[in-house]
Amino acid sequence: MLFRDAFKTSTRSLAHGKMRSVLTMLGIVIGIASVIILMSIGQSAQDLILNQVQGIGSNLIFVVPGGSGGGKFSAPASSQGIIITSLVQRDVDAFIREPSITAAVPEVRGQAQVVYDNNNINVGYEGTEAEFFTVRNMPVGKGQTFTKGDVESGAHVAVIGPVLATKLFGAHLDPIGKTIRLKDISFRVVGVLAKGGTGAFGVDQDNIVIIPLTVAQRQMLGTTYFGDVIIEADPDYDINFVKSRVTFVLRQNHAITDPSKDDFTIRTQEDALAILGNITSILTLFLAAIASISLIVGGIGIMNIMLVSVTERTREIGLRKAVGATDRDILQQFLIESVLLTSVGGVVGIVLGAAVVGLIYFVLSNFFSIGWVFAFPVSAVLLGLGVSTIAGLVFGIYPARKAGKKNPIDALRYE
């Protein structure tokens, strides 16, 4: 039998049982759509996160206390509750003197209750220099940032995140000039950030309170060391060269001759992007693997229906064999039916998945202002088509072989 004839016979058989064919395809449709949607969401989330990290600044270097070489000041010791005090003002002054560095901004962080009127919210606060807002590319949407004079004089002023401003003051009350209390210390709000999101070290910039470094160290935390230092590299220098200079300055200041005993860790934006990229890629694959379970279920459903179809059409198989159809002809027909079911289901699943992805993008972009990135990876489409076709072959071979091996005499006697 020619392939064309087998194809026509298969399509007629599927058309004869329209409802059963549609229900059989439903498992594949849902499975493919799930894979498409989850892979797209994973890619969109990855793009959104990486764009936020890139928005921090491509020429920034982050220095945090605690080494990564397993020494005395290594990160594991820090994670066990040991306070590491290796970054101090002398280090910042040395960074500023380095020609390849244009700015060095120290930071300290803490958690406290912020209070305004009857609103009481637990937030993270950050103490830093006036240059922080320029270096980190964090402009204010209302008011202004605090100044170098505010830091030097220990002024009780604060810049807050946009979401926190809404929580404290509502959607209509202007926060500028209002007084909030942070750890029972009064601060006058001078600015509200224009944008939030997640910044370096996982800090929620939507709900943050930023205050002068001097106030945070002396009155809030009672410390003289820093939680980290943000370094802005001179664009005329290679970022890796600047990183090497930062390492040299710190080892010289801290009298370190053995690199394995470094009491600091240096991270660049490339490091952060690489780590985040690996994490989000693994999560995307994990989500796709979970969605693929529904494909397996759908494939088993197709095999089950095809086996039922073989049983129901036993006399038809016997009649076709009696008039000259070979085992190969019968196998080919049932295999084509299986592949058609899964292929059509795959195409419908891709269309359905694309529609849902577009709807998610529309809703998040227009109603939630998340800045969601539309992503519809071609790999997901190819995967959907490939998996659906393979599923038709894999789960259709057994029923097709069973149909092809039927004895024509026994088949004609079947009731």
Rounded CA separation 43/49 (Å): 10
Instruction: Write down the pTM of the prediction.
Output: 0.61
pLDDT attached to residue 44 = 79
* Chain centre to alpha carbon of residue 230: 24
Sequence-ordered list of residues with C-beta below 8 angstroms from that of 388, at least 6 positions apart, any chain:
28, 32, 295, 342, 343, 345, 346, 347, 349
- pLDDT of 245 reads 93
The pLDDT assigned to 180 comes to 95
DSSP for 98-131?
A: STTEEEEEEEEEEEEEEEETTEEEEEEEEEE-TT
Q: Residue 73: its pLDDT value, please? A: 42
Q: What tokens were used for 294?
A: 């529904």
> What is the residue extent of each domain of the chain?
3-53+274-413, 87-253
Give the residue ranges of the chain where pLDDT is below 50: 70-80
Closest-CA residue to 399 (of 339, 347, 346): 339
Determine the distance from the C-alpha atom of residue 13 to the mean position of all C-alpha atoms in its chain, rounded to a whole number: 45
Q: Name the nearest CA neighbour of 84 among 108, 111, 62.
A: 108
Alpha carbon 82 to chain centroid, angstroms: 31
pLDDT of residue 359: 87
What pLDDT is attached to residue 407?
A: 65
